[in-house]
Amino acid sequence: MKALAALALTLPILALPSGSLAAARISSNSNCPSPDAISVRLLGLVAAGGPETASARVRIEGASMHIEVSTPGEESRQRTVEATGDCDGRAEMAAFIIAAWLDVMPVGRLRAPGIPPREVQPLPRSGPKSEALSVSLHLQAGGGLFGLADELGSSLGWAAMVGMPSLVENAGWLLEVSMTSTRQMAVGQGTAHLRRPTFALAATFELYRDVWLVRAQVGPVLGVLLVEGTGYYSSQKDTSVMWGANVGFSVARTWDGHEAWLRLDANAWPQGRSVLSSQLLSTTIAVPLPSWEVRSMIGFSFGIL
């Protein structure tokens, strides 16, 4: 019986012209499902794909799919379901829900084949109607390992982060703390040992979302520079705070609100810092620290809210 039902739904859709779309206006903030995929499936469920005055909004937020249907003079209907399955399955689920609501609306609002539609007088419009912004409080926490390269060479490190990647539409925020292994550089007759924990607050922007996701990030970064000298007549320690900027891109595989990702980013330190070594006869040697660094990171983020 399930196979017959699926065949009965598929045949009307295949019989439609390739460019046919439902009369109802469909919008989606994602390509999975896309507005066209929902519209084509709606044609096989409701006459003419619903009335031209009807509109449906589909929003993918983390692991949820929000569906809202509205027509002039009728109360809007909303429903939230899990965004499971592939893009075709999501489009079919959205079309079924939209069709169920359109089917209970007054008959005069639907256009049946072969019957002229009722002429509807346009309502006075005070101005363009703007859609409400989509807000999601979906929270993620995760961590990763990275390799760093700069003028001193290469090093390994770790990072931990928390953020809301889709706080408003496709924009969100990310808070990250990271640390590399101890670096070394020769200064005068001794060696300076360097550590720099960094704290970054970035704005994130989803550039593409389907089964894979592409995200960009940019924001300020703070570094706490810890320096300790060895091999000197009088070795000393020092601490300095540095401000900089971070920019990067990541590619993620998403499922059920979780993400496995790869990221390439860079930190710039425009303030500049140098390690000093005082020699005999009041001579001072200054060796500047790198003003940039590039990181390649792999990690995982859990959806916790």
At residue 15, φ and ψ (nearest 5 deg) are: -75, -10
- Prediction pTM value: 0.57
Cβ atoms within 10 A of the Cβ of 48, count?
17
The whole-angstrom separation of Cα 3 and Cα 257 is: 31
- The whole-chain average pLDDT of the chain stands at 81
- Which pLDDT tens digit goes with each residue over 234-252? 777 888 999 999 999 999 9
pLDDT at position 216: 97
Domain boundaries, the chain: 2-109, 140-303
Neighbouring CB atoms inside 10 A of 172's CB total 21
Residue with more model confidence, 5 or 94: 94
Rounded alpha-carbon distances, angstroms, from residue 104 to 41, 78, 108 = 18, 14, 11
- The reported pLDDT for the residue numbered 50 is 63
> What is the rounded CA–CA span in Å between residue 52 and residue 67?
18
- Calculate Rg over the CA atoms of the chain: 29
What's the CATH architecture for 140-303?
Answer: Beta Barrel (2.40)
Higher-scoring residue by pLDDT: 283, 197: 197
Contact 207, 215 (CB under 8 A): yes
